[in-house]
Amino acid sequence: MSFDAWLADFRQEAAERGISDATLDAALTGIKPVERVVALDRGQPEFLQTFTVYLSRRVTAERVGQGRALLQEHAALLDEVERQHGVPKSVLVAFWGLETHYGKVMGNLNIPVSLATLAYDGRRSKFFRSQLLDALRIIDAGHVSAAGMTGSWAGAMGHMQFMPSTFRAHAVDGDGDGRIDLWQSLPDAMHS
């Protein structure tokens, strides 16, 4: 089946599941599969490097120092998150550092396009099709625009690299502005 035929079938399913035409148009009109996304899926460093090499490239003295500074800089927020959710602030900041280098590397690929590429590719199509539906639901809810939903090749997004299903299950409005923004709002990201 061609990508265009697959996309038409998917779009019909998404509409039947309640995704608005406006969201479908914004996220899916004119998209094509991205070969780089498939290549990255086949060459994940987590699986090509030993754990020691992988960890040594990500846990550096510089990154640990940045984490310590950010623990102090965001102490009030991190203390609140620890009190409310029981996640130790040091663990939260460590994940933040590993996942996105404290928000410096959140990915710049369009999430709907990446997920459509992987859902069409076939290796884990059921999983990525489900993630794509969840991404469209997030857009439909008004948390982010289709163009603004960026992240990793696999669909992970924001400061903590949530997959769309994780966003829908756990993301919260930590800053009280009425929407969940895991990209620009540190309170939303940390409370989530």
Distance CA 138, CA 166 (A): 11
Q: How far is CA 21 from CA 17, 104, 128, 132, 159, in A?
A: 11, 33, 21, 15, 29
Residue-wise pLDDT tens digits, 75-94: 999 999 999 999 999 999 99
**∠ CA 161-179-135, rounded to 5°:** 45
Say whether pLDDT at 68 is over 60. Answer: yes
Separation in Å, CA 182 to CA 49, 53, 170: 29, 29, 11
The model carries a pTM of 0.91
Residue 143 has pLDDT above 90, yes or no: yes
Among the listed residues 16, 62, 82, 99, the single catalytic one is 99
Q: List, as own/partner pairs, every contact residues 184-188 make where C-beta atoms lie below 8 angstroms and the sequence separation is at least 24, other chains included.
A: 186/74, 186/77, 186/103, 186/159, 187/77
Tokens (6 digits) for 35: 């070969």
Percent of the chain with pLDDT over 70: 97
Strand, helix or coil for residue 119: helix
99 annotated active-site: yes
pLDDT value for 44 = 65
